[in-house]
Amino acid sequence: MTITNMDDRAENMVAVAGGSFLMGSDRFYPEERPVRKVSVASFLMDRTPVTNARFACFVQETGYVTTAERAPDPAAYPGVNAALLRAGSLVFRKTDGLVDLREPHQWWAYCIGANWRRPLGPGSDLAGLDDHPVVHVTTEDAQTYATWAGKRLPSEAEWEYAARGGLDGADFAWGDELAPGGRMLANYWQGAFPWQNTLEDGYERTSPVMTYPANPYGLFDLIGNVWEWTADWYREGALSGGDGVRSCCVPRGRAAAEESYDPAIPHLRIPRRVIKGGSHLCAANYCQRYRPAARHPQTIDTSTSHLGFRCVL
């Protein structure tokens, strides 16, 4: 049934009271700098990432076909052989041993036929994964779902504020120690990425939502499990939350779409949005982005086996 009223929309959401917080970090990656004071208004946020079961309800009602289920438009990819533009998505493949961590093509493969229904490609399905986060969704997919649900995607500032749960300045969503007393508090990679996963958290890939404790705001899975789309465009060298602070601490200067293009591939003018939270593939030796301040750019046409979303209202 289409969600049309506030009671329906607010179901399984958490009220987050607005306030000010220190956004970013000076202790990890350059794109997280500088730390600055930012304010957000009150909002509601989905308690968990959108699950396969919930996304299936949306698809069943609307007949929506995700980006990964459609062949790419050749006009959007000048110079690419049209015969190669087939429906699919990026799937993580563990390597057989040590590899150069500067070459992600060694563990990422564009898999024809991979999509939200078949997360590992042809032959896979969603058996036993109803309560796992939906993956292989692009910005278009996430925003279309959000519109159906009467919600929207969070801004980067809203997302980080919620993930911190009031623990301002802490490295992780629960404090300054990744695994306090050896306790696993999120689904991330233990061992040497991308070939050795010791599974101390119990999961090779995604985990059911709410497997790990909620943060102080009552929100689950904001760290690890899957990356999450935000509404903000990515800008190189500065937080999308704003490039300065007004006297009232409201962020200004949020990036525009044309500022988000990847300078490494100037011939492809595909905007990038900020994704947050890290995933089950973040490890101590690679991509320590299982933190509230962490951020990463993602082209809006790209879907992967470790990227999902949640909504706000």
Q: How far apart are CA 145 and CA 132, in angstroms?
A: 17
Domain ranges in the chain?
Answer: 1-62+134-313
The arithmetic mean of pLDDT across residues 180-188, rounded, is 97
Tell me the pTM. 0.92
- The pLDDT > 70 percentage for the chain reads 92
* CATH superfamily of domain region 1-62+134-313: paralog of FGE (formylglycine-generating enzyme) (3.90.1580.10)
Tell me what percent of the residues of the chain surpass a pLDDT of 90: 82
Q: Is 70 exceeded by the pLDDT of residue 210?
A: yes
Tell me the pLDDT tens digit for each residue of 21-43.
999 999 999 999 999 999 999 99
Asked whether residue 180 carries a pLDDT value surpassing 60, the answer given is: yes
- Segment 162-168 long-range contacts (CB within 8 Å, at least 24 positions apart): 162/16, 162/45, 162/217, 162/219, 162/222, 163/215, 163/219, 163/222, 163/223, 163/276, 163/277, 163/292, 164/21, 164/215, 164/292, 165/215, 165/216, 165/217, 165/219, 166/216, 166/217, 167/216, 168/21, 168/22
